[in-house]
Amino acid sequence: MSTRLQPAVASLGLRPEDRVLEVGCGHGVAVTLACERLTTGTIVAVDRSATMVDMARRRNRAHVDAGRAVIRRLRIEDGLPPEDGPFDVAFAVNVAESRRRPKRALAAVAPRMAPRGRLVFISEWPGAGPRRGTHASSDALVAELSAWGFAVSRRRPRGRRARRSPSCARTSRRTTRRATGRRSERLRGVRAPGVAGGG
């Protein structure tokens, strides 16, 4: 089980009844971790790669068969099927598309979020920290979240000496440095009730 995904999923604070969306599910490790926290809740996970979707489905066959997980192949910017949502929590870990084209990604996800639904974006880098241009793309993502009616909390990563943390608490954005030398950055938006928004 991926040690970096465990704190990422733990930081979401999932409730047993939550309806969850993961964008860019990869091998399906986070789907497994989320399903362990759900009882009546469900997770929809999407990825653009047929290979990744096949692997995620095989890994989570029991959860898929039980109706707790749905794993689809699609590009998030092309939109979700009408039956998906509303979601209480949506998250993406190391999904470049959410930062490169935030307008298109959020246009697909934001309308499917429940009132007070939470969107969490997590990015990681090896070594000293984010690459050049990361803050600009984060600013664009924040602007789009705000346009869709999300109250955004953020913390920019600081220099090389980031604080060690064994887990990621439910903060809006946190920088951590683990034994692997990787650093992570979190951005969270909470949708205000009654705000339709629009990109």
Quote the pLDDT of residue 188.
Answer: 74
Q: What is the pLDDT of residues 13-30, one digit of tens each?
A: 999 999 999 999 999 999
Entry pTM: 0.77
Is residue 196 a part of any domain in this protein?
A: no
* Range of the structural domain that residue 79 is part of: 5-191
Quote the pLDDT of residue 197.
Answer: 54
Q: Is 60 exceeded by the pLDDT of residue 4?
A: yes
Angle between helices 102-109 and 134-147 (to 10 degrees): 40
Is residue 97 a part of any domain in this protein?
A: yes
Q: What is the DSSP string of 4-55?
A: THHHHHHTT---TT-EEEEES-TTSHHHHHHHTT-SS-EEEEEES-HHHHHH
pLDDT-derived band of residue 95, with 50, 70 and 90 as boundaries? confident
Q: What is the pLDDT of residues 105-123, one digit of tens each?
A: 888 999 999 999 999 888 7
Is residue 146 a part of any domain in this protein?
A: yes
Q: What is the pLDDT of residues 139-154, one digit of tens each?
A: 788 888 888 888 887 6
CA atoms of 97 and 57, how far apart (whole Å): 22
For residue 102, the 8-state DSSP code is H
Is residue 58 a part of any domain in this protein?
A: yes
Q: How many domains, the chain?
A: 1
CA atoms of 93 and 9, how far apart (whole Å): 10
Q: Which residues contact 58 (CB under 8 A, 6 or more apart)?
A: none
For 27, the token pair is 């091998």
Is residue 157 a part of any domain in this protein?
A: yes
Question: What is the greatest pairwise CA distance in the chain?
Answer: 46
For 139, the token pair is 């600013």
Is residue 109 a part of any domain in this protein?
A: yes
Is residue 103 a part of any domain in this protein?
A: yes
Tell me, what CATH number does 86's domain have? 3.40.50.150
Is residue 137 a part of any domain in this protein?
A: yes
Q: What is the DSSP string of 139-184?
A: HHHHHHHHHTTEEEEE----SS-PPP-SS--S-SS--EE-TT-EEE
Q: Is 70 exceeded by the pLDDT of residue 84?
A: yes
